[in-house]
Amino acid sequence: MSRIGKKPVELPSGVTASVSGQTIEIKGPKDTQSFTATDDVTVAVEDNVVKVTPRGSSKRARQQWGMSRTVISNMVTGVTSGFKKELEINGVGYRAQMQGNTLKLSLGLSHEVNFEVPAGITVTAPKPTEIIVEGTDNQLVGQVAANIREWRKPEPYKGKGIKYKDEYIFRKEGKKK
């Protein structure tokens, strides 16, 4: 039994869900999102609650049960409050700034990195050493933040690079004379 899959997803006020076949569409104050579940699970909306149940007891059905429920829960959270990832830039001369729909990063490379922000995502740079990625799709917000971080991961000796705000960098001691 999936402990996560058993829990129903409650719809807060202002959020509506409609199911047609295996596709569920959730409308909220911020956005509208849809998800197509696999044939291994059944999605039903009843009394302002979304329930996901497996079809059969195969391993795949049980895997899809918890995953589908979590995706639907993330969609409900996304259309009501949205998701946010904060990144910090550490290093001398490392900075970021927004120009239109492009994030310009100076990361000690021989050139400036121009990162195009995908549709549905809002990226802001309130300070030159801070980047905030916001959106309604949890997976897309995390992927964009990971793509930005990929340009210069934090290194263990001085901690220079792009890191998540709550990330701990395990520091190493340098060479001894």
Which contiguous run of DSSP H or E holds residue 141? helix 138-150
For the chain, domain boundaries: 3-80, 83-164
3: pLDDT strictly greater than 90: no
Q: Which two tokens stand for residue 134?
A: 């916001």
Per residue in 100-146, pLDDT (tens digit) is 999 999 999 999 999 999 998 999 999 999 999 999 999 999 999 99
**138-150 and 59-80 helices, crossing angle to 10°:** 90
pLDDT at 116: 94
| Structure-token match 């792009």, residue found | 162
149: pLDDT strictly greater than 90: yes
Contact 50, 27 (CB under 8 A): no
Return the CATH class of domain 83-164. Answer: alpha beta
176: pLDDT strictly greater than 90: no
Residue 57: band (very low, low, confident or very high) from pLDDT cuts 50, 70, 90: confident
pLDDT at 1: 63
Query: 3-state DSSP call for residue 18?
Result: strand
Fold agreement (3-80, 83-164):
yes
CATH architecture of 3-80: Alpha-Beta Complex (3.90)
Q: How far is CA 4 from the centre of its chain?
A: 19
- The per-type count for the chain, helices as H runs and strands as E runs, is 3, 13
pLDDT at 128: 93
Contact 59, 106 (CB under 8 A): no
